[in-house]
Amino acid sequence: MNQIQEVKKIYESGGNIMDFLKSRSNSSKNSTESILISYDFQAGTYIESANNNIEYINNYTGSIASLLGKWQFDSILEVGVGEATTLANVVQRLAKKPKHVFGFDLSWSRIKYAQKYLEGKNIQGTLFTGNLFNAPIADNSIDLVYTSHSIEPNGGREKEALIELYRITNKYLVLLEPAYEFADEEGKARMEKLGYVKNLYMTCLELGYKVIEHRKFDFCNNPLNPTGLIVIEKEGNRQSQHVLACPVSKTPLVFTNGIYYSKDSFLAYPVISNIPCLLEENAVLATHFHES
């Protein structure tokens, strides 16, 4: 039996996929592959949960929209968008709608559900697969970038995540992530066991970022996993003329003949069921793509 078949059995029996995969790797940290497999199997459950917890979703996304509504921005991106249950409801509640809405996630299956969820909310957005540690996004290309518990399972990689997210944002970076500093002892022990991030705020300061707000967020789905808010303002930047970029070379990606292609890196990226697959692992070397 291969690993994916084993994971399927564990998922169907209600077991913890991440624990199983960590035991196989003999590592205390969650690997990118483990996170991808775990979330892909769970695809669809987040929309179901949102529909069963409408009051919480309304409160959570309403509070985010109220926060973001203080600033001017033409484009917004949720990193680790999941099934777009946060993104769609935040955009819907913004008094001034951004011209461009983006979201990406490791999991293709979650993006499939996210597309349907956005359509159901009558929101036009560009969704694709991508890795937050190697985002298929150009420098300074999105006015407002935010996360909602998407950095969460990457304990020990706080600095890597922050540097990459800061690279792609043009004005503001908003982090809604587990706040170890605001958790009680039971919550801290749980975060450590699950391999969650713990040092986002201190890492922001070490990197010299301009933190304009840091506090416990107004709403939290689990008292043992309190949500912290960190708002970073980025100054002195110049907005990129393109958004999607080859994750390998960070050069522009152009949609042509049904795929995304970078003429600078000679790499092509497939589109499956209208979902651009922009993980580095999806790249196909195609040096003669433009030849007739």
pLDDT in tens, 101-156: 999 999 999 999 999 999 999 999 999 999 999 999 999 999 999 999 999 999 99
Residues 7, 80, single domain; the answer is no
Percent of the chain with pLDDT over 90: 77
Residue among 75, 83, 87 at smallest CA distance from 108:
83
For residue range 77-93, what is the model confidence (pLDDT) as tens digits? 999 999 999 999 999 99
The number of angstroms, rounded, from the C-alpha of 78 to the middle of its chain's C-alpha atoms is 6
Quote the pLDDT of residue 72.
93
2 by Cβ neighbours in 10 Å (0-12 / 13-18 / 19+) ranks as exposed
Quote the pLDDT of residue 196.
94
Residues 210, 289, single domain; the answer is no
CATH of the domain at 148: 3.40.50.150
**Residues 152, 194: Cα–Cα separation, whole Å:** 9
Residues 292, 160, single domain; the answer is no
* DSSP bridge pairs for 86: none
Residues 253, 291, single domain; the answer is yes
pTM over 0.75: yes
Residues 104, 219, single domain; the answer is yes
**Residue 187 located in a structural domain:** yes
- Owning domain of residue 273: 244-292
Residues 27, 134, single domain; the answer is no
Residues 25, 136, single domain; the answer is no
**Residue 199 located in a structural domain:** yes
199 by Cβ neighbours in 10 Å (0-12 / 13-18 / 19+) ranks as middle
Q: How many domains does the chain have?
A: 3
Round the average pLDDT of the chain to a whole number and report it.
90
For residue range 23-58, what is the model confidence (pLDDT) as tens digits? 566 555 667 776 766 767 777 788 998 899 999 999
**Residue 127 located in a structural domain:** yes
Tokens, residue 292: 């007739």
**Residue 87 located in a structural domain:** yes
Quote the pLDDT of residue 39.
64
